[in-house]
Amino acid sequence: MRWNLPARAAAICLAACAAAPLAQAADYPGDKPLSLIVPYPAGGASDASARQFGVHIAHALKQQVVVENVGGGAGMLGARRVLTSAPDGYTFLHGSANEVILSPFLNTAARYKPEDFRLTQPISEATIVLLARADLPVSNVDDFIAYAKRPGAKPLTFGSVGVGSLYHIMTEYLGRRVGAEFLHVPYRGAAPALQDLIGRQVDFAVLPYQQAMEGMAAQQQIKILTSFSDTLPPPLAKLPLISQSKTIPDFVYTIAGGYYVRQDTPAPAVDTLRRAVGYALEQPDLRERMEAEGRLLLRPMSQQDADAYAVAQVAKYRQMIDALGLKPM
């Protein structure tokens, strides 16, 4: 698969606040502002999250953090922007498995590997949900799997945000794991996929959680069959967990996000940036806003734990892609 989308960049300067709580590496960040790269256009969920984190990172470092929106190529252009910058810690990525792992695994246009990045600090795991049209005769994920596998059944149709997206690939993998056949209907984003699900144009959808979905379910416009999480933030406590499934309790997938630099960035800069992001993660206002949006915020990690987390994420997605026999295109 290939994307040929125009890159658009916008920048906003997040002013650093007064005294910061961190002792910093002697020459980092100095008097030079940092560039926080968001690999999508301004106004989306990634952009909003980065700007909120950027305020606290700037406070911790006593330095400006400039948010730059480098959209295009399903996030690849922003990822490459970090890799083509100097390896000094002044340019870092607000990234996820989509840009850092899936794109290089599936798209030859990426021209980079997951190992080209270093994860300074994981920040969150966003919730993914399995939704069904309101009249589908199922009430939970186990019912759904049994219904999809019933003798003589036609393949159920599902919507996702696009070909090659995490939601597309994990749904294909779900079908492979349980022995069911699904028919993919790609959309340009979650909103049109959700609208067609409400209109009963597709049987189900795998999408990132939105608060509005619970209202839609209450109005019997859709059904929320499960989250693909084994832990949820308190505001989402009423959602079912995939770990409660009797059929496939280990099918745990979230949108793992974090802050990345080039792999060859000096260790003192990586450590200072990691601790600044960790400071942001401890702020109650940030945690409250993020968790209300369906994101499980993580606690600050050591660099050793962050490195292990990154390795585990790459292995998990590699297993899924290998099982489906997918190759870069």
Over the stretch 116-150, which tens digit does the pLDDT of each residue have?
999 999 999 999 999 999 999 999 999 999 999 99
Mean pLDDT along residues 288-317? 94
15 and 111 together in one domain: yes
Does any domain span residue 137?
Answer: yes
Mean pLDDT along residues 41-67? 93
Closest residue by Cα to residue 73 from 8, 125, 10:
8
Query: Which residues touch 219 (CB under 8 Å, ≥6 apart)?
Result: none
The residue type found at 323 is A
198 and 217 together in one domain: yes
- The yes-or-no verdict on residue 175 having pLDDT over 60 is yes
Q: Would you give the DSSP letter of residue 291?
A: H
- Could you tell me the pTM of the whole model? 0.83
- pLDDT greater at residue 190 or residue 8: 190
Does any domain span residue 21?
Answer: yes
Q: State the residue range of the domain holding 266.
A: 11-126+254-324
Is residue 63 within 8 A of residue 230, CB to CB? The reply is no
202 and 152 together in one domain: yes
Mean pLDDT along residues 97-113? 92
Count CA atoms within 13 Å of residue 241 on its CB side: 13
**pLDDT class for 111, splitting at 50, 70, 90?**
very high
List C-alpha distances in Å: 196 to 138, 204, 211, 285.
19, 10, 18, 35
* pLDDT at residue 22, rounded to an integer: 54
Is residue 220 within 8 A of residue 155, CB to CB? The reply is no
CA 6, distance to chain mean position in Å, is 22
* pLDDT at residue 7, rounded to an integer: 39
pLDDT tens readout for residues 64-104: 999 999 988 878 999 999 999 999 999 999 999 989 999 99
What is the distance between the alpha carbons of residues 26 and 179, in angstroms, rounded to a whole number? 57
* pLDDT at residue 239, rounded to an integer: 95
CA 272, distance to chain mean position in Å, is 24
Does any domain span residue 1?
Answer: no
Which one of 244, 272, 292 terminates a domain? 244
Closest residue by Cα to residue 169 from 95, 69, 48, 74:
74
- The yes-or-no verdict on residue 25 having pLDDT over 70 is no
52 and 112 together in one domain: yes
- The yes-or-no verdict on residue 8 having pLDDT over 50 is no
Does any domain span residue 41?
Answer: yes
CA 34, distance to chain mean position in Å, is 23
Which one of 244, 278, 312 terminates a domain? 244
273 and 285 together in one domain: yes
Which one of 213, 244, 275 terminates a domain? 244
Closest residue by Cα to residue 68 from 99, 84, 46:
46
